[in-house]
Amino acid sequence: MKKAIITVLGKDSVGIIYNVAKILSENNINILDISQTIMDDIFTMVMSVDIEKSAVDFGTLSKTLEDKGVELGVKVIICLEEIFNSMHRI
Partner 1 sequence: MLSNYEIVETLNMIEKENLDIRTITMGISLRDCCDSDVKKALTKVYDKITFLAKDLVKTGEDIQTEFGIPIINKRISVTPISIIAESSDVDNYVEFAKVLDKAAYETGVNFIGGFSALVHKGYTNGDRKLIASIPEALSVTDRVCASVNLATTKAGINMDAVKEMGIVIKELAEKTKDKDSFGCAKLVVFANAPEDNPFMAGAFLGCGEPECVINVGVSGPGVVKSALEKVKGADFATVADTIKKTAFKVTRMGQMVAMEASKRLNVPFGIVDLSLAPTPVVGDSVAHILEEMGLEKCGTHGTTAALALLNDAVKKGGVFATSHVGGLSGAFIPVSEDAGMIDAVQCGALSLEKLEAMTCVCSVGLDMIVVPGDTSASTISAIIADEAAIGMVNTKTTAVRIIPAYGKKVGDMVEFGGLLGHGPVMNVSNFSSEEFIQRGGRIPAPLQALKN
- The identity of residue 1, as a single letter, is M
List the one residue from 10, 17, 30, 62 that touches partner 1 (CB under 8 A).
62
Question: Applying CB under 8 A, does 35 fall inside the site for partner 1?
Answer: yes
- Binders of partner 1: how many residues, by CB under 8 A? 26
Per-residue contact string for residues 12-31; x = within reach of partner 1 by CB under 8 A: --------------------
For residue 18, the minimal CB distance to partner 1 (Å) is 20
* CB hemisphere CA count around 81 (13 angstroms): 15
How many angstroms separate the CA atoms of 36 and 74, rounded? 14
What are the DSSP calls for 9-67, one per residue? EE---TTHHHHHHHHHHHTT-EEEEEEEEEETTEEEEEEEEE-TT-SS-HHHHHHHHHH
Considering only residues 66 through 85, tell me which ones interact with partner 1, judged by CB under 8 A: 77-85
Binding site for partner 1 (CB under 8 A): 5, 7, 9, 33, 35, 37, 39, 44, 46, 48, 58-59, 62, 77-89
